[in-house]
Structure 1
Amino acid sequence: MTDEASREVLAIIVSNSPNKTLIKDTLDELKNHLMPGSRPILHSDQGWQYQIPAYPNQLELMNIAQSMSRKGNCHDNAPIESFFNLLKRECLNYLKFNTIDELRQSVNDYAQWFNNERISMNIGGMTPVWYRELMCTEELEA
């Protein structure tokens, strides 16, 4: 999961199966990045895992509004698809993994690098964390 404004990776979990546990673990990781009192909007496609009753129930408990595209409307997914494209081109295409743990470590390392070191011209040549911190500081001063 990424923040669409800062492009910061907020939660990324590698699993060997797309199951309910993966969704729960991802939302649990996301909890650590939500600002108190915020009301974020979480966008997803219409995958089965986002339609099970436990998913919207957990979002409601976390004060997150659910957004889901109509079938065939891929534009809402563009930001996360763009991130996955970068992850593949800048990391995964060049490495070979023997275990899921090696893949998991590489993905986590990439997310840390992406958030804290990789600059983006789309956010003024800053890293996602730098951009978020600057925006939060400006909001507090306003």
Structure 2
Amino acid sequence: MDDRMTTDLVMSALEDAYKAKRPKKGLIHHSDRVSQYASADYRKRLVKYRMKASMSRKGNCYDNACIESFHSLLKKEFVYYTRFKTKKQAYDGIYQYIEFFITASESMVLWATYRGFSLQLDSNEKQPNFIF
């Protein structure tokens, strides 16, 4: 967390995310076209982490609509209602919010998948139908 978004800041965030999640080769890393994500250093780091770079099309504001919506929720539900005394406290709180949001979202997907599977079995299916 910093006062402004620099290449060093986004490099640090990418490194933290990579260390925390250790994604498999081929992860698609989507960003907008700001210079920090287009920098040679950042793009080299994506190659090092075996990530595929993806950028918004010029003038297309809808490419990042999902993350912009999430940022709106983060601010409305947490940031605007929390008084942070230090940057570290803000960082830790926002990190926890994001981790909770992701965990809750994954749980909802698993529940919906399970529920759909249960409904399929309830409709006179004796064996589940899996396609591999």
Band the TM-score falls in, shorter-chain normalisation: 0.7 to 0.9
CA contact (8 A) 1:16 1:100 kept: no
Q: Please list every run of 5 or more consecutive structure 1 residues that lacks an aligned counterpart in the other structure.
A: 1-13, 135-140
Q: Which residue of 2 aligns with 1:9?
A: none
Q: Which runs of no fewer than 5 residues in structure 2 stay unpaired?
A: 115-130
CA contact (8 A) 1:45 1:69 kept: yes
| Greater Rg over alpha carbons, structure | 2
Counterpart in the other structure of 2:92: 105
Give the helix-richer structure, 1 or 2: 2
Q: Scaled by the length of structure 2, what TM-score is found?
A: 0.73
Deviating beyond 3 angstroms after TM superposition, the runs of 4 or more aligned structure 1 residues are none
Superposition RMSD in Å: 2.4
Of the two structures, which has the highest relative contact order with CA contacts closer than 8 Å and spacing of 6 or more?
1
Q: For residues 1-142 of structure 1, what are the structure 2 equivalents within 5 Å?
A: 14-32=1-19, 33-36=21-24, 38-116=25-103, 118-119=104-105, 126=108, 142=132
Counterpart residue identity of residue 90, structure 1: E
Instruction: Please tell me the residue identity of whatever aligns with 1:77.
Output: N
On the 8 A contact 1:59/1:66 being kept in 2, the answer is yes
Q: How many residues get paired?
A: 113
